């Protein structure tokens, strides 16, 4: 093999072999609930894991498998499982590592549903999430106890747009015999490959940048395959280590959780996600360039009070972002504040091109007022802790011409 190919090439060609699918350039959408087997022995062998054949869609699907191989490769992992949503990937991963009475340490700058799952839902099952400031590595280490089972961070927090030092977090986690789980949705493997910085498990909502067109939901768990599962903290993992070696956790996630909860990803969505992935690198170049321009425009606008974007001069997260993202950029999402909630509403209502909806990572520019929508039912102290204030607007900057995005923002700001 020659040198490793660049990501622009890999997003298109990784995991695809010339002879596959009668020469088709895309995998078929295997829209079948179950697969026939020629002999009783073959089905038995497949149940035993001795063949790579398929049994039933809730377990595996050939279209999904192509996407899994591609995503594992793009993140530098050893294996992946595609699921119905990013939340399915997060839930299955965490529950495979936890039992009632356990704890884990997580940043407090988390996707909204992840926060609800960790703070409220897991609590009912006797699981404690210890929240720390996402970028405070001293607090992160101090929160680790004998009951801790993993450390959980997002590469770029949303909407704070903070960037934790993944390398330090990995060093701390590993020193305590714990894996580092990273939700890399906002960065994508174009901007950051957390496994290269020490992460053991990478999660994505493929609904966002990976599919890129707001047309498919999905999630993925990618296992780096290198964590040394120790008996002291992970006695449940040891039988899986015997069976699957480095892919013990992925096997546990799949065998115990994913297939029994029924969090199957639809092959049509996997197919759409693969088409989206072909253009991930060029889309991300444009998202990153446009977001940087938009952040600069907003920072200079007299009606804008504060802009949260790790690429801005003076951002406390710029140095870490520079290092983890190798100077490629700082993400495609920009958060900013106006005078108050009515000003935010007037701004959003006057936008003409930008879509007002609850999503991010689409090729179109999107806007939302988190306080009155996603975080509507959150108690006020929790909103404050998560930096969800009434004056905050979040933009997911798309790949349109930057002049047109800025013109729309400018005319809407004029109406505020
Ligand atoms: C959207 C999102 C999720 C959840 O993904 P779904 O596909 O909506 O379930 C998780 N993490 C982050 C960072 C997200 O942006």
- Per-residue pLDDT, 2: 45
pLDDT higher than 50, residue 237 = yes
Percent of the chain with pLDDT over 70: 99
Class of domain 280-414: alpha beta
- For residues 55 and 318, give the distance between their C-alpha atoms in angstroms, rounded to a whole number: 48
Ligand 1 centroid to residue 415 C-alpha, Å: 32
Ligand 1 centroid to residue 326 C-alpha, Å: 24
Instruction: Please name the residue whose Cα sits nearest to atom 11 of ligand 1.
Output: 111
Instruction: Please name the residue whose Cα sits nearest to atom 5 of ligand 1.
Output: 86
Q: Is the Cα dihedral 218, 224, 227, 229 positive or negative?
A: positive
Average pLDDT over residues 401-406: 98
Q: Which of 92, 112, 185, 366 to mutate to test the pocket of ligand 1 (most atoms within 8 A of CB)?
A: 185
Q: Which of 82, 86, 212 to mutate to test the pocket of ligand 1 (most atoms within 8 A of CB)?
A: 86
Identify the CATH assignment for 15-276 out of 3.40.640.10, 3.40.50.720, 3.40.47.10, 2.30.29.30. 3.40.640.10
User: Which residue spans of the chain are classified as CATH 3.90.1150.10?
Assistant: 280-414
pLDDT higher than 80, residue 157 = yes
Q: Which of 155, 186, 205 to mutate to test the pocket of ligand 1 (most atoms within 8 A of CB)?
A: 205
Confidence of residue 1 (pLDDT cuts 50, 70, 90): very low
User: Which residue spans of the chain are classified as CATH 3.40.640.10?
Assistant: 15-276
Confidence of residue 218 (pLDDT cuts 50, 70, 90): very high
- Per-residue pLDDT, 20: 85
- For residues 50 and 223, give the distance between their C-alpha atoms in angstroms, rounded to a whole number: 21
Which pLDDT tens digit goes with each residue over 6-52? 999 999 998 887 788 888 989 999 999 999 999 999 999 999 999 99
Ligand 1 centroid to residue 205 C-alpha, Å: 5
Atom of ligand 1 nearest to the CA of 158: 13
Which pLDDT tens digit goes with each residue over 325-384? 999 999 999 999 999 999 999 999 999 999 999 999 999 999 999 999 999 999 999 999
pLDDT higher than 70, residue 257 = yes
Ligand 1 centroid to residue 38 C-alpha, Å: 40
Pocket residues: Cβ below 6 A from ligand 1: 85-87, 111, 113-114, 154, 158, 183, 185-186, 205, 207-208, 217, 219, 360
Q: Is 76 left (phi over 0), alpha (psi -120 to 50) or beta?
A: left
Q: Are 328 and 288 in contact (CB under 8 A)?
A: yes
Atom of ligand 1 nearest to the CA of 360: 15
Which pLDDT tens digit goes with each residue over 160-201? 999 999 999 999 999 999 999 999 999 999 999 999 999 999
- Per-residue pLDDT, 327: 94
Atom of ligand 1 nearest to the CA of 154: 13
Atom of ligand 1 nearest to the CA of 88: 9
Q: Which of 118, 164, 208 to mutate to test the pocket of ligand 1 (most atoms within 8 A of CB)?
A: 208
Ligand 1 centroid to residue 243 C-alpha, Å: 31
- Per-residue pLDDT, 17: 79
- Per-residue pLDDT, 16: 82
Atom of ligand 1 nearest to the CA of 186: 13
- For residues 90 and 111, give the distance between their C-alpha atoms in angstroms, rounded to a whole number: 11
- Per-residue pLDDT, 3: 59
Distances (CA, A) of 292 to 334, 352, 410: 9, 21, 16
Atom of ligand 1 nearest to the CA of 89: 9
Average pLDDT over residues 214-221: 98
Ligand 1 centroid to residue 185 C-alpha, Å: 7
- For residues 392 and 339, give the distance between their C-alpha atoms in angstroms, rounded to a whole number: 9
Which pLDDT tens digit goes with each residue over 83-138? 999 999 999 999 999 999 999 999 999 999 999 999 999 999 999 999 999 999 99
Ligand 1 centroid to residue 196 C-alpha, Å: 22
Ligand 1 centroid to residue 339 C-alpha, Å: 29
């Amino acid at each position: 093999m020659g040198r490793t190919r660049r990501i622009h090439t890999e997003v298109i060609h990784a995991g695809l072999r010339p002879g596959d699918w009668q020469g088709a350039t895309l995998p078929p959408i295997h829209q079948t609930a179950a697969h026939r087997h020629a002999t009783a022995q073959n089905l038995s062998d497949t149940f035993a894991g001795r063949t790579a054949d398929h049994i039933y869609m809730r377990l595996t699907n050939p279209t999904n498998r192509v996407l899994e191989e591609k995503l594992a490769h793009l993140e530098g992992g050893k294996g992946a499982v595609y699921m119905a949503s990013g939340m399915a990937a997060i839930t299955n991963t965490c529950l495979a590592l936890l039992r009632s009475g356990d704890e884990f340490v997580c940043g407090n700058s988390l996707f909204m549903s992840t926060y609800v799952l960790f703070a409220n839902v897991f609590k009912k099952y006797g699981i404690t999430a210890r929240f720390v400031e996402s970028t405070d590595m001293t607090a992160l280490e101090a929160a680790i106890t004998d009951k801790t089972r993993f450390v959980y961070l997002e590469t770029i927090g949303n909407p704070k747009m903070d960037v934790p030092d993944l390398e330090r977090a990995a060093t701390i986690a590993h020193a305590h015999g714990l894996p580092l789980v990273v939700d890399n949705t906002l960065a994508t493997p174009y901007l950051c490959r957390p496994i290269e910085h020490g992460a053991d498990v990478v999660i994505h909502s493929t609904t966002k940048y990976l599919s890129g067109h707001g047309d498919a939901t999905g999630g993925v768990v990618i296992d780096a395959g290198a964590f040394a599962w120790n008996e002291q903290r992970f006695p449940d993992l040891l039988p899986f280590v015997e069976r699957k070696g480095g892919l013990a956790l992925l096997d546990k996630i799949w065998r115990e959780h994913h297939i029994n909860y029924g969090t199957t990803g639809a092959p049509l969505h996997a197919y759409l996600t693969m088409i989206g992935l072909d253009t991930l690198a060029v889309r991300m170049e444009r998202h990153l360039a446009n977001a940087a321009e938009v952040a600069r425009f907003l920072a200079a606008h007299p009606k804008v009070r504060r802009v949260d974007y790790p690429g801005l001069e003076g951002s406390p997260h710029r140095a870490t972002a520079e290092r983890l993202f190798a100077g490629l950029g700082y993400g495609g999402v920009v958060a900013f504040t106006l005078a108050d909630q009515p000003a935010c509403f007037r701004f959003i209502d006057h936008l003409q091109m930008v879509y007002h909806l609850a999503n991010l990572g689409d090729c179109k520019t999107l806007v939302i007022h988190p306080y009155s929508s996603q975080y509507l039912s959150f108690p006020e102290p929790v909103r404050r802790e998560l930096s969800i204030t009434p004056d905050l607007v979040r933009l997911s900057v798309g790949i349109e011409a930057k002049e047109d995005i800025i013109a729309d923002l400018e005319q809407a700001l004029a109406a505020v």
